[in-house]
Structure 1
């Protein structure tokens, strides 16, 4: 899977939702999925960023994308249910969902984690993923080979000093992924998580402002795994946390 050969049109006729699609890894994943023939649903907080991705997809002649502006910090359970119903009405199914949107919060000693920062990180990184997954799974089960992909981190399976709420949220993400994977193991739904590793993104820059960005992998470099988990080639992979690098 690490050397997965991306095949032209390997995602043709698939409908794939990408959260955090306006920048970083989410943006690149959305563009890559569209290039390979998928109709991509772009979910993010900033309309201008989503429109930029939409315009690029359209300009390159890929299947026309859809835009869902949604702020996960304030979205309700009903917002996600309404979105799932819209997906059914417009597309009839959902073949894949890349749950990529996350926030870093603050890197700080455990004893000084601010309660509001903790709440915000857990709301976006955990509760929103939980509510979104609950809403999407019934739609995904209408597909023959649906793939639900969470985003984890190296600090999501081994605690690291000062990574605070973000680290705790990624432990929760991996637990949620494993729970869903086990519950739906005898269905057509497969659920996995990607640890993207050190990648040149705005979040990485915030966490490591003094780091030489030129030494990092670019989002495009790690796309083989993102494509693999959305393609039918990975139909037997379930309940795994996989490193992209």
Structure 2
């Protein structure tokens, strides 16, 4: 695993947005950040799941989180603009954003990728990330030091047969992260991407249904990198894709 010693309360007084916060890695990141003192903003498409994470955080005695129900596949630019305006009005600044939500689509030969699947994957994995980042960056620049984190994959820097739309979307994600990092290199905003590696999630199970789950890392196992990139220890770290394991 990524070698980083997590310090108690290292995210105190930080406001951090997490997409895909109702399940898997997003849920674990939300719980972990909250335990470390952050006020988390839970964004996801399923209200019931977000409410369950909210209840878990409140049971920890952590700062009260906020919930934003939003389906990235159907959201418009105005939805993101309005969301960012609400965040700016209510919390003043955004110290971190973990753009974690992704869509796998289907694993098919390249010539058999269905156009609608392609469009859906690109909408969730690329276009929504682009619109989210555009909307959030002005509020993040209000923070003393802000961290924008995208989610990549092992197939995001080396193409893999049959992973067509998803793989290509992650190449685009890494490119977007690098462009933002370069544009804001002299600012208080840093921008990186995480490759979580083989982790026990529903997406992983749909890609590898016969895999032995006992050999996979849990979302909790990979949290050191997720915490590092949101903590002040990573100030100056920008434009990189880092591996969680």
Q: TM-score range by the shorter chain?
A: over 0.9
Q: Give, in whole Å, the separation in 2 of the partners of 1:106 and 1:2.
A: 30
Q: Secondary structure at the match of 1:87?
A: helix
Q: Which residue of structure 2 aligns with residue 174 of structure 1?
A: 174
Q: Which residue of structure 1 aligns with residue 10 of structure 2?
A: 10
What CA deviation, in whole Å up to 9, does each residue of 1:157-200 have, x standing for no partner?
00000001000000000000000000000100000000000000
Runs (4 or more) in structure 1 with deviation over 4 Å come to none
Q: Which 5+ residue runs of structure 1 have no aligned equivalent?
A: none
Q: Which residue of structure 2 aligns with residue 220 of structure 1?
A: 220
Aligned residues: 245
TM-score, with length taken from structure 1: 0.99
Q: CA RMSD in A?
A: 0.7
1:122 aligns with 2:119: no
Q: Which residue of structure 2 aligns with residue 102 of structure 1?
A: 102
Q: Which residue of structure 1 aligns with residue 61 of structure 2?
A: 61
Q: Which residue of structure 1 aligns with residue 183 of structure 2?
A: 183
Q: Secondary structure at the match of 1:205?
A: helix
Q: Give, in whole Å, the separation in 2 of the partners of 1:162 and 1:55.
A: 39
What CA deviation, in whole Å up to 9, does each residue of 1:8-55 have, x standing for no partner?
000000000000000000000000000000000000000000000000
1:237 aligns with 2:237: yes
Q: Which residue of structure 2 aligns with residue 137 of structure 1?
A: 137
Shift of 1:217: 0.1
1:32 aligns with 2:41: no
Shift of 1:79: 0.3
Shift of 1:71: 0.3
Q: Give, in whole Å, the separation in 2 of the partners of 1:89 and 1:138.
A: 13
Q: Secondary structure at the match of 1:220?
A: coil
Q: Give, in whole Å, the separation in 1 of the partners of 2:80 and 2:212.
A: 39
Matches within 5 A, 1:189-204: 189-204=189-204
Q: Which 5+ residue runs of structure 2 have no aligned equivalent?
A: none
TM-score, with length taken from structure 2: 0.99
Q: Give, in whole Å, the separation in 1 of the partners of 2:98 and 2:42.
A: 10
Q: Secondary structure at the match of 1:242?
A: strand
Q: Secondary structure at the match of 1:176?
A: helix
Q: Secondary structure at the match of 1:22?
A: coil
What CA deviation, in whole Å up to 9, does each residue of 1:52-78 have, x standing for no partner?
000000011010000000000010000
What CA deviation, in whole Å up to 9, does each residue of 1:64-108 have, x standing for no partner?
000000000010000000000000111000000000000000000
